[in-house]
Amino acid sequence: MPSDSSPKNIAPPLHRLLANTADAVQAVRDGHSLTDWLSRCPADVRPGVQALSFTVLRRLGAAQAVRAVLAPRNPPARVDALLVTALALLWPGDTAYADHTLVDQAVHAVRQRAPNSAGFVNAVLRRFLREREALVAAAEADPVARFNHPRWWQERLRGDWPSAWEGLLDANQQRPPMTLRVNPAHDSVDTYLARLRETGIDAHRAGALFPQAVVLDEPRPVQALPGFDDGHASVQDASAQLAAPLLLGQRPPQDLASGEAWNVLGEGARVLDACAAPGGKTAHLQELAGNRLDLLALDADAKRLERVRQNLQRLELAGAVRAADARDTAAWWDGRPFDGILLDAPCSASGIVRRHPDVRWLRRPEDIPALARTQSELLEALWPLLKPGGRLLYATCSVFKSEGQDQIDAFLQRHGDARSRQFDQGAGHLLPLADNASQDFAPGGAAVTDGFYYALLQKV
């Protein structure tokens, strides 16, 4: 569990950040979500612990490999987590803390929770500093240490993307950009960019494929964004901003601030967002349709649905919200067919690893076929609820083909009344690679978009 909080308005000491970071890393090793753990972390250390945890998890394979060389016998779990945390932060290229400071504070943290291990940790870390170049070179001969992803994950990517798998692994190690979706009911993108500049925030457009998207040069708290509380903008990755346009029509008009509703399904169309939480795509649908959809947001997680309600309320958008498993249609469907269905299906999250660096360590090989079965069950349950002529958009934040193209190819084989709508851009597998010609880039050359898959199906 997170350690106790310190007095407010006092910067927490590094040894306390390291202790909490080690606890976060151990929680992930034990199979727990980093996001869930951080929600329980003391508020005064949470930002620092999140930043350090992200760094450690991006280097976990390498740090564990070096620890195995320096200390072949496994230390107690909490001591090992602190040791691995310190090794990851002492890795070449990290200049956040001076080496001697980090070693001193790591030993201090160990002394507070396992005094008898303080000398051992001190000796291991100092040996690492003396032999760092050779130890790093030796560790990187192991693919898990070199790429900091499990071997099975690498093999799956290599099979799906033989010419791009290494680039995908490298992309997962990058800091993701903070991307906003500008609300056309309040501002044009140019107007909002000017408002950001007035408040000292540098930003730029995400690219022609994402007409509402603005990328910040540096992440900022949402409280610092002009008009955020009043619904002028939302935080949403550029790839996720493709969902609503693809379901409602291929592309929106360029001038989204014109006030004109844009919705090929028609005013008052009945639309289902089947796995809606946290509600970014739900809200975007209503934004583009001028708040004139008959919209139902469904999710199996009642707790996460509160975020959907909050998003709709902040943006002053309409929509019914209900907790239910979309597959159990008898429990929630009223028998009226839908004009459009958005199925953002549960998946491996293999396309958003840079935002959730714990995902690679939490997933197991057997999870992928299990998730594919759930995706298939959702497609089968929801397809009969669609009107003839209606549209179903299938989406996953995955780069694994079994959760994307393979899933849809199999569905089309089973359903003669389904047709796949093709587009020049914005559908299929979107890979988070910096050389993707369909997008601009974040500062430093990183890809603007996360990895996603989209397929638009029409019932004939």
- b/e map of 50-65 (b: 16 or more CB within 10 Å)? bebbbbbbbbbbbbbb
Spell out the residues 6+ positions from residue 171 whose beta carbon is closer than 8 angstroms to its own: 354, 432, 433, 434, 446, 447
CB of 252 within 8 A of CB of 262?
Answer: yes
DSSP letter at 215 equals E
Do 244 and 211 touch, CB atoms closer than 8 A? Answer: no
386 is written with which tokens?
């669609």
CA dihedral sign of residues 166, 172, 177, 180: positive
Question: For residues 183 and 193, what is the distance between their CA atoms, to the nearest angstrom?
Answer: 12
CB 136 within 8 A of CB 92: yes
Say how far apart CA 102 and CA 104 lie, in whole Å: 5
End-to-end CA distance of the chain: 54
How many other C-beta atoms can be found within 10 angstroms of the C-beta atom of residue 303?
9
| Single-letter amino acid, residue 368 | I
Q: Are 270 and 294 in contact (CB under 8 A)?
A: yes
Residue 266, number of CB atoms within 10 A of its CB: 13
Give me the DSSP letters along 432-460.
--TT-TTS-B-TTS-BSSPPEEEEEEEE-
Q: What span, in angstroms and rounded, lies between the C-alpha atoms of 406 and 181?
A: 30
User: Which residues is 452 bridged to in the sheet?
Assistant: 430
Distances (CA, A) of 99 to 70, 80, 95, 138, 434: 18, 19, 9, 21, 32
Whether 347 is catalytic: no
Kindly report the number of other CB atoms within 10 A of residue 241's CB atom: 24
Count of other CB atoms within 10 angstroms of residue 224? 13
Q: How far apart, in whole angstroms, are the C-alpha atoms of residue 157 and residue 165?
A: 5
Tokens 């959907």 belong to residue: 308
Torsion of CA 61, 67, 72, 73, to 10 degrees: -100
Find the catalytic residue in 41, 275, 347, 397: 397
- Residues tagged active-site: 397
